[in-house]
Structure 1
Amino acid sequence: MATIILPLTFITGIYGMNFTGSPYNMPELTWRYGYPAVVLLMAGVAVALGANFDRKGWL
């Protein structure tokens, strides 16, 4: 389970830093659908990892 949660924690950590106003600003922070896109990305990562582990018989 930690293997599935670790990438989600990494994505959350990056987006939790709020880079607005810096030269390294992530443009999706000001995008209207930025938050839903990141949530869908995290759900997709979790589903893809779960499906891959299930296919290999690890779950």
Structure 2
Amino acid sequence: FIPLTFLAGVWGMNFDPEASPWNMPELKAQYGYPAALVFMAVVALGLVAFFRWKKWL
């Protein structure tokens, strides 16, 4: 079930609160967590736009 997999993936990320409250150790960036969420949203919206363009939705 995709929505539950997505939620488990987002909340399953390990964070390093000592570097920043938004930090993900994998990214080593101050705003790594928000950047990851924005990236996921852009990919999802891009796929929806592509599917609509192909008239699959």
Q: Which TM-score bucket, shorter chain as reference?
A: 0.5 to 0.7
Q: Provide runs of 4+ in structure 1 moved above 3 Å.
A: none
After superposition, the Cα gap between the structure-2 partners of 1:36 and 1:17, relative to the gap in structure 1 and judged at 3 Å, is closer
Q: Hey, what does 2:37 align to over in structure 1?
A: 39
Matches within 5 A, 1:7-26: 9=6, 13=9, 16-18=12-14, 26=26
Query: Matches of 2:15 and 2:31 in 1, distance apart?
Result: 17
The aligned length equals: 48
In proportion to residue count, which structure has more helix? Answer: 1
Local SS of the residue matching 2:14: coil
Structure 1 unmatched runs, 5+? none
Relative contact order higher in (CA < 8 Å, ≥ 6 apart): 1
Q: Which runs of 5+ in 2 are unaligned?
A: 17-24
The correspondence for 1:54, drawn from 49, 52, 55, is 52
1:15-47 CA-to-partner distances (Å, cap 9, x unmatched) read 724286xxxx61x1x421101100110111111
